[in-house]
Amino acid sequence: MTETSGQGQQDRLVILGSKGGPAIRPGGPNPTSSLLEMAGRRCVIDCGLGVTRGLVEAGVSLKDLDLIFITHLHSDHVLELGPLLHTAWTTGLDRPVTLYGPRGISEYWYGFLTSLGYDIDLRIDDEGRPDLRPLVRLAEYAEGPIPIEGLDVAALRVDHPPVTECFALKFEAGGWSVVFSADTAHFPPLAGFAAECDILVHEAMLAHGVDRIVEITGNGERLRQHLINSHTLAPDAARIALAANTKHLVLNHLIPADLPGFEEADWLEAVRGYPGQVTVAKDGLEIRRT
């Protein structure tokens, strides 16, 4: 695929990882990450396992990373953040990248730098690379507007117990708007936040899939209660999209995403009351602005 630069690129959304949860299975999808290219800015939203390869396969040159947003610090959203930035650096990154994250993102990043300190210092000395550390500009955010040149970005705190620092994100520019629900229980205020958006990327879970996950993992009622209390069933995601009057609902962070017996038809049946366009996410799914 041809690499794209930040100049003159067509606005698009690419789902890089569509799976909910940190586990990976042979031939299955990767945990959560997305690419949003809008108004000449390149935004990576969440960095689960596989984000680096997903970006390359989407035609992105890693040395052209621009903005990274982390919705919360669960491992399936942040585990490959450090490796992504380090790999971009070894690929030729030599200009600043801004990393936006909730409270706690600094501890993650500085911990990663400490763990790779030997390699970073060695490559600076041996290969003449610029220092990675000042190239990453940290910006902790909370609920409300996030000032970014060329984009209107806002965050909404959502309901994802026991995590309190978890945020939906809305991106707008040039009459195009995309909202990411992040991980959340059914949260009606999200409909107002996403009102009239062009695309709502909302996490989704199948009730009978929860039964199957509990059966195969053996975590019993504690896992079941976590899933029910902290995530959104697909019909409720459709209710949010309907209340928001969004044009296009993308079901993402799928639970389950990679178990036999769960097909696209199951997801479409679960949201059949929603009259707009519905897409069930898969790794590599690309939606271009029309």
Instruction: Write the DSSP symbol of residue 130.
Output: P
Confidence (pLDDT) at 30: 97
Confidence (pLDDT) at 6: 39
Of the chain, the end-to-end C-alpha distance in Å amounts to 21
Q: Which has the closest alpha carbon to 252: 11, 50, 58, 14?
A: 14
The structure tokens listed for 162 are: 């026991």
Q: Which has the closest alpha carbon to 202: 186, 188, 182?
A: 182
Distance CA 124, CA 119 (A): 9
pLDDT tens digit at each of 290 positions of the chain = 233 333 346 899 999 999 999 989 899 999 999 999 999 999 999 999 999 999 999 999 999 999 999 999 999 999 999 999 999 999 999 999 999 999 999 999 999 999 999 999 999 999 999 999 999 999 999 999 999 999 999 999 999 999 999 999 999 999 999 999 999 999 999 999 999 999 999 999 999 888 888 877 766 778 888 889 999 999 999 999 999 999 999 999 999 998 888 899 999 999 998 999 999 999 999 999 98
Distance CA 77, CA 49 (A): 8
Confidence (pLDDT) at 224: 85
Domains for the chain: give ranges and CATH numbers: 12-288 (3.60.15.10)
Confidence (pLDDT) at 37: 98
Confidence (pLDDT) at 223: 84
The structure tokens listed for 123 are: 């490559």
Confidence (pLDDT) at 39: 96
